[in-house]
Amino acid sequence: MTPNHNKLPDLPPFCSPRWLVGGHLQSIYAKMRQSPPPAYRRELLPDSYGEDLAAYDFVDAANPDAPLVILFHGLEGSSRSHYAVELMHAVQACGWHGVVAHFRSCGGVPAKRKYHSGDTREIAHMLGLLAARYREIYAVGVSLGGNALAKYLGEQGRLNAPAVPRAAAVLSAPVNLAASGAALESGLPRLIYTRYFLSSLLAKMPPSDRKIRTLGDFDNAYTAPMHGFADKDDYYRQAAALPYLCNIAVPTLIVNAKNDPFLPARFLPAEHDVSPQVRLLQPEHGGHAGFVSGGSLGHLRWLPETVLRFFDQVRRANGKEAV
């Protein structure tokens, strides 16, 4: 019988520093607490269309047969993002292989074709490339990368394919893209995050006379037509992972803070939205991919430790050697 991973032992509770209040501050402050990046080994590998090269930044274990953790980053993220750096350090510490698989045009590697929140073709391709090298793969997706990973896992259903990881973790993913898009269109989220993302996104695009002031404008002008969607609303509907969560067949941990500015708490997935193989973890605090924990200045260890403990629990349930 397939284990029900909702019944696995408790994961560590999350507690942020008392002075670190609010989803915005918890999201932004995390970037100030990251460690220096590990010594990555970079490979440039073909994308799923064979048109562009994508960057894969590896941390290698001493044991060639150790499991691999692959990270799919968020919007305009990279192996230098705080969550990637902390996860790769934790992976190294437990003697596993790790890799940050960059979407096209990210990680400092230009590309003609870009990427989007529902790019499951590229997720499948990346996993397939790595499954040819590593026997045991675990996958982590953060924000945009988390939505794409969750959608891919739901699309696969119970298909026993080599490109399906043994277990997955989906972190701060805006699985309801329409609700997330609306949340980022006004108020503090628009003021805080729009300029940050647009400065990077627009630098990769040809000059245009169109007025791009929000991420929704960008998705209407570029993301939707570039990837075959009618407009941003069609893109958000087709690319959202939420309708696919009920079909996920591999053990999957989905972590969302209830104060995530990118997806209001009322739109977070509930137990009736997910399959028995999905475990929902929704702390009251943490912001968007922040999760600074502990006292004093805080640290970023809670998220990678939680993810790796979940993977360890899955391995134990399946008779594998513990981390």
Task: Give the H/E segment covering residue 281.
Answer: strand 278-281
**What string of DSSP letters covers 128-175?**
HHHHTT-SSEEEEEETHHHHHHHHHHHHHTT---TTS-SEEEEES--S
Digit-coded pLDDT (tens) for 157-202:
755 565 889 999 999 999 999 999 999 998 999 999 998 999 999 9
Token duo for residue 31: 């970037």
Which residues fall within 8 angstroms of residue 74, CB to CB, at 6 or more apart? 81, 83, 142, 143, 144, 145, 146, 172, 289
Catalytic residue check, 260: yes
Domains of the chain, earliest start first = 5-174+240-317 (3.40.50.1820), 177-238 (no CATH)
Assess contact for 255 and 170: CB atoms under 8 A.
yes
Catalytic residue check, 97: no
CA distances, 30 to each of 17, 287, 295, 299 (Å): 12, 9, 14, 8
Catalytic residue among 79, 105, 117, 143: 143
Q: Name residue 101's beta-bridge partners.
A: 56, 72
pLDDT at residue 3, rounded to an integer? 44
Catalytic residue among 16, 288, 293, 312: 288
Catalytic residue among 260, 285, 293, 312: 260
Rounded to two decimals, the pTM is 0.94
Catalytic residue check, 143: yes
pLDDT at residue 209, rounded to an integer? 61
**What is the full per-residue pLDDT of the chain (323 aa) written as tens digits?**
344 444 555 788 999 999 999 999 999 999 999 999 999 999 999 999 999 999 999 999 999 999 999 999 999 999 999 999 999 999 999 999 999 999 999 999 999 999 999 999 999 999 999 999 999 999 999 999 999 999 999 999 755 565 889 999 999 999 999 999 999 998 999 999 998 999 999 999 988 766 899 999 999 999 999 999 999 999 999 999 999 999 999 999 999 999 999 999 999 999 999 999 999 999 999 999 999 999 899 999 999 999 999 999 999 888 865 54
Assess contact for 120 and 152: CB atoms under 8 A.
yes
Digit-coded pLDDT (tens) for 12-43:
899 999 999 999 999 999 999 999 999 999 99
